[in-house]
Amino acid sequence: MKDVRNYDLLRHNTFGIAAKCSRFVEFSTVEELQDVLRRLTDDDMPLLLLGGGSNLLLTGDYHGTVLHSAIMGHEAVEKGDDVMLKCGSGETWDDIVALCVARGWYGTENLSFIPGEVGASAVQNIGAYGAEVKDIITSVEAVEIATQRPVSFTNAQCEYAYRQSKFKGEWRDKYVITYVTYRLSKTFKPRLDYGNIRSCLAEQQIASPTPQQLRDTIIRIRREKLPDPALEGNAGSFFMNPIVGKDKFDEIAGHYPEVPHYTVDAEHEKIPAGWMIDKCGWKGRSLGAAGVHDKQALVLVNRGGATGEDIVKLCHKIQKDVYDRFGIAIHPEVNIK
């Protein structure tokens, strides 16, 4: 177990923000976590549950305790066509995707190259290219902070929605996730109709991709669109794509017939926030050291030396411009602390 005071969080957030926390604790087992929680005092509060730091924006030093899972390992149980894969919350998500593809366990391919750790996948309901992790999660194990007792939740109990779960709402700061179990399949059913997957496959002259070819294509698309945090600090998609009613969508389509959209249900459409930000002229622009990526307007970047407050100011300016132009409020996907 690692337990350090006045700890530098620079390498624990992909935005590259210089900040420290009063105490940093990294646990490797459920028992270590329970012991840490049992010994917490008022001086250790508040708590921040940190994964890979790829969905976090620090606006200053954190005057409390940061808890980070280093619970590793995975265990698979195969039954017929199904594979139940239990993973430690500290595992890197994309390592698990690579493992699944290599072993012939399918269902994660479209979620390739999403940064972060297994525990965060269950909190955030990560998603990309027509897939969401809620579709494969069967259960989430955690430790209740107040009582230190181990608990287990079903998928239904987590109440997953677009980039949402009870861990982000009612259960926020009440549980520390220790393990996540996913249901995968031995039958490969590729999902190719979202975004530019098919066109990218066509460029490679691939008509029917293998699982590895689909994973490689998703990685290629993401690398072309998203900046490398090692070169330009960022947290990937900064804003959630708004879901609007049909009337609102029809209003916008009347002014912008080319508006991209994805049908959610009979009454709602999802409009890419990046498209609206681009229409407002923000792609590639900066506000001081904080900027908007020149290839993907959904991504805010640290051009070098930006503070968390610089990023927040840019966020607010973009939100105002999008609302003024489209009458739609867009909200950060990133956890701002």
Q: What is the pLDDT of residue 194?
A: 86
pLDDT at 322: 98
Mean pLDDT of 188-212: 94
Residue listed under structure tokens 């999008």: 322
Under DSSP, the state recorded for 170 is T
333 catalytic residue (yes or no): yes
Confidence of residue 64 (pLDDT cuts 50, 70, 90): very high
What architecture (CATH level 2) is domain 2-69?
Answer: 2-Layer Sandwich (3.30)
- CA 31/CA 35 separation, integer angstroms: 6
What pLDDT digit, counting tens, does each position of 142-196 carry? Answer: 999 999 999 999 999 999 998 899 999 999 999 999 999 999 999 999 999 988 9
Q: Residue 294: pLDDT above 90? A: yes
Q: Is-same-fold flag (2-69; 233-336)?
A: no
Q: What is the dihedral of CA 206, 212, 216, 218, to 10 degrees?
A: 90
The candidate with the shortest Cα–Cα distance to 16, out of 332, 305, 272, 321, is: 305
**Residue 317 to residue 178: CA distance in whole angstroms:** 38
pLDDT 10s digits, 67-76: 999 999 999 9
Quick one: DSSP state of residue 298? T
* Catalytic annotation, pick one of 163, 165, 215, 269: 163
Torsion of CA 8, 15, 127, 76, to 10 degrees: -30
Residues 154, 159, 162: CA angle, nearest 5 degrees = 125
How deeply is 180 buried, as exposed, middle or buried, from its count of CB atoms within 10 A (0-12, 13-18, 19+)? buried
With tokens 């624990």, the residue in question is 12
The ranges assigned to domains in the chain are 2-69, 74-154+174-185, 233-336
CATH topology of domain 233-336: 3.90.78
Which tens digit of pLDDT belongs to each residue from 225-265?
Answer: 889 998 999 999 999 999 999 999 999 999 999 999 999 99
Total-model pTM: 0.89
pLDDT at position 225 is 87
> Which class does domain 74-154+174-185 fall in?
alpha beta
pLDDT > 70: percent of the chain: 100
What pLDDT, on a 0 to 100 scale, did the predictor assign at position 204?
Answer: 95
Pick the catalytic residue: 89, 109, 237, 269? 237
Catalytic, 11? Answer no
Query: Of these residues, 26, 32, 132, 333, which one is catalytic?
Result: 333
